[in-house]
Structure 1
Amino acid sequence: MSETHWIHWIDADAEHTARWRSETGMPLPRRVVPADGRLSAATAHRLACEGTALLWQGDFQQARQMLRAMGRRIDRKPPARVAPARKAPAPASSPTAAFHLHRRAAGHRARVLAKLLVPLREDHTLGLRRAPDVRAACDEAYGPPQGGPWAVPLRELLGVIGAHQWRTKGVDIPAIGARIHPHYGVFSPVRGEYVDLVAQAPLPAAAHGSTAFDLGTGTGVLAAVLAHRGVRHVVATDSNPRAVECAADNMNRLGLTPRVKIATGGGLYPPGRAALVVCNPPWLPAKPNSALEQGVYDPDGAMLHGFLTGLADHLLPGGEGWLIMSDLAEHLGLRSPGELRSAITAAGLHVLDRLDTRPRHRRATDPTDPLHAARAAEITSLWRLRIAR
């Protein structure tokens, strides 16, 4: 955190302070009051909606129960309407309107639940009864203990704990016969269909024994797949420092450090040319609400267009660019049909082939999901691109 903010509250006629921490960028609470198991969920929900933060001082398990109870109350009464937009609003029944309403409801939910805070001591221990040992999880997410004490949203801390469990356990990747270990703040490769596309697509002849670029590598999973398939040298890039550290850790675990270089700094592309350039940009052209959403939302499709417009200058003769994209944005009305093909043509590229697959994640078959119709129709594709002659 580049700047330290403080929260203040009164307890037993004495003023107390703590540093404020929110990895998702939640604003500093205007007012903080102590709370414990004597507080009702109705009162907690009302205070949080009014902007008052509740610093929990009781039992940790009771705090989790309170968070769930507040969440149920929010879900029973979602925001009334989508905020006014610059353009004329889409019909209420349109997929685009449903997407924006869903995003607004999710943002409202996150802001209200972020008002339930828990105290972290200087050494990253939780100052609550029956609290788990969260020191390792906090060290991974926040770095070594410094300063303190801290006040953090319980919902975010539970995300930190969950990320530590994923990092410890790892995600099984059948394409490499090993596990990838995501770090906190790095998009986890739990949607295996896009990994399978990269594992199955025919390698261009120029790529055998040559160099490949993996743009926006994240955990490094696609770089590992390319190395596993016999690509001699892979250069992986990412603008997220957490991703750079995560990818380097995974390459070391897999024994691929001699063959996979994790480039730091610079732009989307590393210097030079490659026989194969792989890019799996965020699939939805919308603004992320936090740094943790940058693996899903790409404002105005900036990374997608950066990949397309730069590809011709970074391919070796006979090389290919592989673009992994979902068409969910088209089903949601966030990108018009044919817009992607037009962008490919405008970049001086042509489509050599397209490999398609259906999503296998749980929400694709969940009829209660507010975006179910779009998710059920979604197709994930690997576009094989070459320079147009």
Structure 2
Amino acid sequence: MPFPQIQGLNSAWQWYKNGITIPMLRNKLHPYYGTYFPTRFDHLELFDRWLKYYEGAKKTAIDVGIGSGVLSLQMIKHGFQKVFGTDINPNAIIGLTEYMGETKLSRKIDLDLGYLFGKFEKQTELIVFNPPWLRESHNVDNLEEAIYYNENLFPDFFEGAKQRLLPKES
């Protein structure tokens, strides 16, 4: 195994073992290897502020590409009753399941290993998606799918969101 991969595994182990502090969450996260977690927090502070003033219904939400679960945990913190989270990375689902354990969170966040919306067909009040930010320029492996997107990702997302987003209340 090349040395950079060994370094990557060691870093992942340290993040998992020691946890990662997210300023707007109470507890540290312990992400599994290859699971996305934020290293900057501006967008999370903005989302937290938006959720604080959000006046819509808070029955359900969908978190597409849940990663380490930060956005879902923020929504639960701000009163959403149920969040459905999906990810194509099995380590994200396994790690978040372990993190929630048998706590109340495990009854408030429902996880599915799947593309975009996975098995979740019901309509919801809010859909969040922190998508990959670079266009795919080569064949990517599972770990790189959190960074690189293919040409179908956004059309597929918007089509799925259109079907699942409840009409806005007037």
TM-score, normalised to structure 2's length? 0.86
Deviation for aligned residue 1:179: 1.3
Task: Determine the structure 2 residue equivalent to 1:297.
Answer: 148
1:168 and 1:305 map into 2 onto residues whose CA distance is 38
Deviation for aligned residue 1:250: 2.6
Task: Determine the structure 2 residue equivalent to 1:167.
Answer: 16
2:122 and 2:133 map into 1 onto residues whose CA distance is 26
2:155 and 2:55 map into 1 onto residues whose CA distance is 23
- 1:313 paired with 2:157, answer no
- 1:200 paired with 2:42, answer no
1:285 and 1:249 map into 2 onto residues whose CA distance is 32
- 1:278 paired with 2:128, answer yes
1:214 and 1:272 map into 2 onto residues whose CA distance is 13
1:204 and 1:252 map into 2 onto residues whose CA distance is 30
1:180 and 1:303 map into 2 onto residues whose CA distance is 27
What is the 5 A alignment of 1:1-389?
152-201=1-50, 202-207=53-58, 210-252=59-101, 255-265=104-114, 267-269=115-117, 270-287=120-137, 289-300=140-151, 302-318=152-168
3-state SS of the aligned residue for 2:134? coil
8 Å CA contact 1:277–1:315 kept in 2: the answer is: yes
Deviation for aligned residue 1:256: 1.0
Deviation for aligned residue 1:255: 4.7
2:99 and 2:165 map into 1 onto residues whose CA distance is 27
Counterparts in 2 of 1:294 and 1:180: CA distance versus 1, 3 Å? same
8 Å CA contact 1:171–1:179 kept in 2: the answer is: yes
1:196 and 1:161 map into 2 onto residues whose CA distance is 29
TM-score, normalised to structure 1's length? 0.40
Count of residues paired in the alignment: 164
* Superimposed CA distance per residue, residues 175-233 of structure 1 (whole angstroms, 9 cap, x where no aligned partner): 122211111111122121222222111424122xx001000101111111111111001
Letter in 2 for 1:189: P
1:213 and 1:290 map into 2 onto residues whose CA distance is 25
Letter in 1 for 2:116: L
Deviation for aligned residue 1:299: 2.1
Task: Determine the structure 2 residue equivalent to 1:18.
Answer: none
* Superimposed CA distance per residue, residues 256-300 of structure 1 (whole angstroms, 9 cap, x where no aligned partner): 1111111234x4112211111111110122236543322111122
- Greater C-alpha Rg: 1
2:111 and 2:84 map into 1 onto residues whose CA distance is 6
Q: Where does the alignment leave 5 or more consecutive residues of structure 2 unmatched?
A: none
3-state SS of the aligned residue for 2:155? helix
CA RMSD across the alignment:
2.0
Q: Where does the alignment leave 5 or more consecutive residues of structure 1 unmatched?
A: 1-151, 320-389
8 Å CA contact 1:219–1:250 kept in 2: the answer is: no
Counterparts in 2 of 1:234 and 1:246: CA distance versus 1, 3 Å? same
Task: Determine the structure 2 residue equivalent to 1:351.
Answer: none
3-state SS of the aligned residue for 1:181? coil
8 Å CA contact 2:89–2:142 kept in 1: the answer is: no
1:307 and 1:200 map into 2 onto residues whose CA distance is 25
3-state SS of the aligned residue for 1:247? helix
1:279 and 1:197 map into 2 onto residues whose CA distance is 14
8 Å CA contact 1:186–1:219 kept in 2: the answer is: yes
